[in-house]
Amino acid sequence: MTHARIAAVALVCASAAVTAFGQERPAIDISRLSNGQPSFPLVWQPYRSPKLPPVDLRNGADLDRLADGGSLRLSLSEFLRLVAQNDLTLEAARYDFAIAQVDVLRAKSGQAARGIAAAPLPGAVFAGAIGAGVSTTAPLSAGGTGGAAISTQGKLVSFGARGIFDPTVNFNISYDHLTNPLNTTRVAGATSLVIPTIVLQTRFQQELPIGTSYSVSFNLQRQTSTQAGLLFNPALSSFGALQFYQPLLNGFGRPFTQRFVTLAENNTKIVREAFHGTLNDRLSAAANAYWDLVALRENLRVVQEAVAVAARQHDEDLQRIDLGVMTPLDALTSASQLAAARLDPAWCERSSADRRSDRRS
């Protein structure tokens, strides 16, 4: 490969790489895939799947522009640009980068990265104390809000290490209706106790990238009773808490907490370089095919000239035989050269193509 050919391939590879990542194809919003949908003004927007453009299987716009009367006359740079626009292998490889961006979004939410075919996850991140994911969120406490209620004893909201970078809001409301028949009316002033209870439980919790997790909790309980002589009926009891959790020895620091984010971001770089490798392979194969075609055309031209020269020499020998200055035996040399020229594979292929064209016409 000459220096001029190498420079042409490198130039087209660089321009085709820009084209391949969405300049001339239906654009995929990479920032939305890696950062999620904005939550303003529609708060449910981040939880909806982003819309991706359909796969474009049409020919590139340059193909129709360069086609002239059903034939293409292309320079090497134009041919390589058409390959970058219309090659299905490259079209499929473009989506690997989008998949890697979705993996970054998953890691930013606090979950384990999944990796892709071009950049699989190392097994070490799933072994031993490191674990597969960061952790899970804590469930709401079902025990109420404390001891100020008329009946039952509530429990405080428990809190431990939480592993989810996405903020999480938990909400629970429950209604209980308890009826207790009594054997005497002297204590409660009624033959039975009816105690309706409404409990509201809420929590906002999140883990920060530095490893610190926190939660804000508020619980409210409302309870009434048919018992006589109660000072507070209905009785309202509430509980609020702001809690922090910071590991000091196990998993302390940003590098450990964000290990999957770092891994997913590194995978995007690997995918980009893998795409460049695929792009270079496809363009290198296309450039070789281009120059092979040029070489075949030149070889056909040389064979045609050789056949023409051999035919002209044989015709001259036949004329000399007619004039009596050459014997028929002397013309065997030029006849043999003409037959040998017509046995060249390029000439045979051209003759077969001409015969097929004549049959179609």
- Going by C-alpha positions, the residue among 36, 14, 177, 194 that lies closest to residue 102 is 36
Contacts 24+ apart (CB under 8 A), 108-111: 108/34, 108/35, 108/36, 108/165, 108/261, 109/164, 109/165, 109/166, 110/134, 110/135, 110/163, 110/164, 110/165, 110/166, 110/207, 111/260
- C-beta atoms surrounding 32 within 10 Å: 15
Q: Which pLDDT value is given to residue 16?
A: 44
Give the pLDDT score at 131. Answer: 43
Domain residue limits, the chain: 3-123+257-292, 130-249, 300-360
Q: Residue 205: which of 137, 148, 150 has the closest Cα?
A: 137
Task: Determine the pLDDT at residue 300.
Answer: 83
Q: What is the pLDDT of residues 75-109, one digit of tens each?
A: 888 888 888 888 888 888 888 888 888 888 888 87
- Record the pTM: 0.58
Q: Are 311 and 338 in contact (CB under 8 A)?
A: yes
- DSSP letter string, 125-168: GGSTTT-SSS--PPPPP-S-S-S-SSSS---PPP------SS-E
Which residue numbers in the chain have pLDDT < 50? 1-23, 128-136, 142-148, 153-162
Nearest to 157 by CA among 208, 219, 229: 219
Single-letter code of the amino acid located at 341:
A
